[in-house]
Amino acid sequence: MTSDPDQKRQKPKERQERKERPALTRRRLLTTAGAAGAAGLAVGAPTGALAHSAATGDDGPALAEVGATAVPFHGTHQPGITTPMQAHGHLAAFDLAAAAGRREAAALLRRWSTLAAELMAGGTPDTDTGVARDAGPASLTVTIGFGGSFFDAVGLTGARPAALDPLPAFSADALDERRSNGDLWLQIGADDALVAFHALRTLQRAAGETAAVRWQMTGFNRSQGATARPMTTRNLMGQVDGTNNPRPEDDDFEARVFVPAGGDPAWMSGGSYAVVRRIRMLLDVWESRPLAEQERVMGRRKSNGAPLTGERETDPVDLEATGPDGTAVIAANAHVRVTAPETNGGAAMLRRPFSYHDGFRDDGAPDAGLLFVCWQADPLRGFVPVQRKLDRGDALSEFVRHEASALFAVPGGAAEGEYVGQELLEGG
Amino acid sequence: MTSDPDQKRQKPKERQERKERPALTRRRLLTTAGAAGAAGLAVGAPTGALAHSAATGDDGPALAEVGATAVPFHGTHQPGITTPMQAHGHLAAFDLAAAAGRREAAALLRRWSTLAAELMAGGTPDTDTGVARDAGPASLTVTIGFGGSFFDAVGLTGARPAALDPLPAFSADALDERRSNGDLWLQIGADDALVAFHALRTLQRAAGETAAVRWQMTGFNRSQGATARPMTTRNLMGQVDGTNNPRPEDDDFEARVFVPAGGDPAWMSGGSYAVVRRIRMLLDVWESRPLAEQERVMGRRKSNGAPLTGERETDPVDLEATGPDGTAVIAANAHVRVTAPETNGGAAMLRRPFSYHDGFRDDGAPDAGLLFVCWQADPLRGFVPVQRKLDRGDALSEFVRHEASALFAVPGGAAEGEYVGQELLEGG
């Protein structure tokens, strides 16, 4: 882009910035709880979210909008699945202690559910560390899942759903078992890093002697307000990511993403299955390829995510289109073709990833990529067939390594006074 | 806090959220460069910052305010010192290759300066990876410094300022040399994680064969808009952090933080010295202590950061106050007393840290703490005397470990067409 010549004439005035920025950039919200609900709508809190009112400092002004947004914990589905992607995320798997059984697991899930509801409403648990004080809930979500090994650990082997059968091995996998699987899983998201850390730490402490962290990964997405592109983000390859996601307004969205009411097993009604993959991007290799090759690999334009057969990101992908020489515009192994629902028997999953960057490797390449999280009613009709196809012929696979993998059953949301998984742990 | 009973009656409507949130929460800004300048003021861009206009997608609306804010690269001082703390930060040290001398170092500093100016204005370098596309500059700053070893590496040993003499050893140090020191230093901050990563990766690639990453650390602060507390943030101990920082409106602010014009050496005029310490917090230990003990250790209240002798965060600390039993209200080893400028011969530094969290250690404790960065005109009158005192009798030292340390000379800001350090590398 060309810069505005006027910019160059302006002198730095950072000393003024420091003083004036907070007062100018943050909007005051009303402070009473009832009024905050109305204010939330007025200033743009999402429908169904609650503007938060009472978590400011002892004598400070009310919260600004990023902090004020709350997502409800209780409901048909758990939060963090269709909730808009937050700027910060933690994925953490826990293994139950050898001495912990069904009773201890149930007590832990009750503690986690109670804390999650409180934290997501902007509350302060009794034993609070104070890290999240002053901020509001900042769209915090906590999502709780069960790995296949959980059922053996709590003596409920017979209750393990077939959908939790181990994922098939893919030829491109280079999985680190220490960062894969796990009895229990937490997905935490928030639009403030301190709020996200605080939730993770609070829930880890609440695990007490019952469960210990097996692995934990930290990720990020674009900040609220940093971009005008609302539905999609960029990944660390620079690609627009998420364009083809099923959308809640689609007729078959619920059926694809959530186990139906009265589903099998019954305790998964309203639940979903999450596939988690830590996918390292070989950025040194990817970035060495010219733009035209990158676009052939993806089947989309880098600039705006439009398919090579269209002009805008949301234009449908025309897999039949041919160029002047008669060859397909979207190559046979282009990522967008291999992953297209129409080439996978309609398989679709809701992708809701975070990017990650854990420093640099010894060879100087970033240890960075995607914390891929996808949601579906049945992994055998979502992730598995798509990944099988990717494994056989995806041009993108040259540039990525799957380094960790996990699959979790995420029950439906808890009702008030209940905890996530209660029907599983207390039924039968 | 108590929650509003009305909240409980609301049903989750996350499907609507997903659709409606972007349209409702993001404000449209004007799109032409001139108008954006005015709009920047209208919606709250900091004085001296430039609202950004042209980095949106091909056909998207204009940027929202978090993304639209730009900080100037050129000026008397480098950016990232008095710039308000951003939500995301990277600290990275580079060592020059054995074959790289003064000429190669100068070329690298010119490349870095050119790129930093372009990226901070929201521009897209020719070889761009695309990761920051769609977002604006998001208050990106790039700050460039020189370690003591740089001067030997480029054959300018005689030019090394005495202020870069190695810091004294402190008894509480447990330093990892591989994560300490370094020839060159970059500090990157931005209010969007993708923008920050993109800048780091772009500058790393620009180092080419001249320099390689020695160490790199990633940190975070509160998101813009997540809190109503504007001047200070919380650290991962839950403490309000930064209350006693010198403020730009103080008469002696410039003298404390920046080397004066015509300073010694001349190429450091307008520059500053940065001390970087990776300070791990022993959170398992800290969180086990009752609130009253934590407050005695700090000398401040956890709730709002007020000194134990006052009511509000900004109340002056009364080191003379005694309680009913005649003992000092602020204990002899309270952190606020040991660090007070009046007990350190007026020594003061501008603290501008990021928190960090790099997962969990084998014992389950978070590998988390503070990427402490402080700025001063002379480390021997800033960090060193304060740290010496802390080392001898700070109640907080039981709860922290200094694991890495570095000291960098950060020259004044570059003028248009010049690069950071040009006077050093091309003078004499």
Query: If you ran DSSP here, which 8-state letter would residue A280 be given?
Result: E
pLDDT of the residue at B102: 98
Position B21 pLDDT exceeds 70: no
Give backbone dihedrals phi and psi of B116, rounded to 5 degrees, phi first: -60, -45
Q: Do A84 and B24 touch (CB under 8 A)?
A: no
Portion of chain B with pLDDT greater than 70, in percent: 84
The predicted-structure confidence for B311-368, as pLDDT tens digits, reads as follows 999 999 999 999 999 999 999 999 999 988 888 877 789 999 999 999 999 999 999 9
Give backbone dihedrals phi and psi of B298, rounded to 5 degrees, phi first: -80, -35
CB B201 within 8 A of CB B218: no
pLDDT of the residue at B274: 98
How many whole angstroms separate alpha carbon A140 and alpha carbon A152? 31
Tokens representing residue B385 in the block: 């005397």
How many whole angstroms separate alpha carbon B294 and alpha carbon B302? 8
Query: Which element (helix H / strand E) includes A203?
Result: helix A193-207
pLDDT of the residue at A231: 65
User: Which residues from B are below 8 Å from A132, CB to CB?
Assistant: 234
pLDDT of the residue at A228: 76
Mean per-residue pLDDT for B265-288? Answer: 97
- Report the 10 Å Cβ neighbour count for A393: 12
How many whole angstroms separate alpha carbon A209 and alpha carbon A114? 18
Tokens representing residue B28 in the block: 């449209």
The predicted-structure confidence for B55-107, as pLDDT tens digits, reads as follows 333 334 456 688 999 999 999 999 999 999 999 999 999 999 999 999 999 99
pLDDT of the residue at B231: 65
Comparing A196-205, A315-324, B30-39, B405-414, which segment has the lowest mean pLDDT? B30-39
pLDDT of the residue at A16: 30
Give the Å distances, CA to CA, from A267 to A160, A290, A423, A424.
11, 50, 5, 6
What residue ranges do the domains of chain A occupy?
15-70, 86-428
- Report the 10 Å Cβ neighbour count for B162: 9
Give the Å distances, CA to CA, from A156 to A102, A181, A259, B79, B139.
8, 18, 20, 58, 52
Average pLDDT, chain B: 85
Tokens representing residue B139 in the block: 């208050």
Query: Which element (helix H / strand E) includes A189?
Result: strand A184-190
Residue type, A341: P
Query: If you ran DSSP here, which 8-state letter would residue A326 be given?
Result: S
CB A372 within 8 A of CB A406: no
Q: Do A46 and B21 touch (CB under 8 A)?
A: yes
Residue B45, classified by CB atoms within 10 Å of its CB into exposed (0-12), middle (13-18) or buried (19+), is buried
Q: Do B304 and A6 touch (CB under 8 A)?
A: no
Tokens representing residue B66 in the block: 């978090």
Mutate to test the interface with A, among B73, B114, B224 (most CBs of A within 10 A): B224
Residue located via tokens 């930060």 = B89
Tokens representing residue A282 in the block: 């070989």
pLDDT of the residue at A39: 26
Angstroms from B246 CA to nearest CA on chain A: 12
Name every residue whose Cβ is closer than 8 Å to that of residue B327 and which is 6 or more positions away in sequence: none
Question: Parallel, antiparallel, or unpaired for β B366-376 and B354-360?
Answer: antiparallel
Q: Do B197 and A355 touch (CB under 8 A)?
A: yes
pLDDT of the residue at B129: 93
pLDDT of the residue at B64: 63
Query: Which element (helix H / strand E) includes B384?
Result: helix B383-393
How many whole angstroms separate alpha carbon B319 and alpha carbon B415? 45
Kindly give the interhelix angle for A193-207 and A102-120, rounded to the nearest 10 degrees.
Answer: 160
- Tens-digit pLDDT string for chain A (428 aa): 333 333 333 333 332 332 222 222 222 222 222 222 222 222 223 333 333 333 333 334 456 688 999 999 999 999 999 999 999 999 999 999 999 999 999 999 999 999 999 999 999 888 899 999 988 999 999 999 999 999 999 999 999 999 999 999 988 799 999 999 999 999 999 999 999 999 999 999 999 999 999 999 999 999 988 887 766 789 999 999 888 899 999 999 999 999 999 989 999 999 999 999 999 999 999 999 999 999 999 999 999 999 999 999 999 999 999 999 999 999 999 999 998 888 887 778 999 999 999 999 999 999 999 999 999 999 999 999 999 889 888 999 999 999 999 999 999 999 999 999 999 999 85
Q: For residue B399, which of B293, B275, B319 has the smallest C-alpha distance?
A: B293
The predicted-structure confidence for B339-348, as pLDDT tens digits, reads as follows 888 888 777 8
Average pLDDT, chain A: 85
How many whole angstroms separate alpha carbon B26 and alpha carbon A227? 9
Q: Do A14 and B82 touch (CB under 8 A)?
A: yes
Q: Which residue of A has its CA nearest to B94?
A: A364
Residue type, A102: R
How many whole angstroms separate alpha carbon A256 and alpha carbon A245? 11
Residue type, B149: S
Provide the ipTM.
Answer: 0.87
Position B123 pLDDT exceeds 80: yes
- Report the 10 Å Cβ neighbour count for A158: 7
Query: If you ran DSSP here, which 8-state letter would residue B394 be given?
Result: -
pLDDT of the residue at B62: 53
pLDDT of the residue at A63: 61
Comparing B32-46, B93-107, B124-138, B270-284, which segment has the lowest mean pLDDT? B32-46
Position B10 pLDDT exceeds 70: no
pLDDT of the residue at A346: 78
pLDDT of the residue at A243: 87
Position B34 pLDDT exceeds 70: no
Q: Which of A241, A264, A358, A362 is catalytic?
A: A241
Tokens representing residue B84 in the block: 């308000």
pLDDT of the residue at A62: 53
Mutate to test the interface with A, among B56, B194, B203 (most CBs of A within 10 A): B194
Angstroms from B149 CA to nearest CA on chain A: 21
* Beta strands, E only, B260-345: 272-281
CB A191 within 8 A of CB A87: yes
CB B50 within 8 A of CB B121: yes
Residue type, A219: G
More confident residue, B30 or A148: A148
Position B26 pLDDT exceeds 90: no
Q: For residue A419, which of A27, A67, A39, A111 has the smallest C-alpha distance?
A: A111
Tokens representing residue A263 in the block: 């589903």
Q: For residue B91, which of A359, A238, A281, A55 has the smallest C-alpha distance?
A: A359
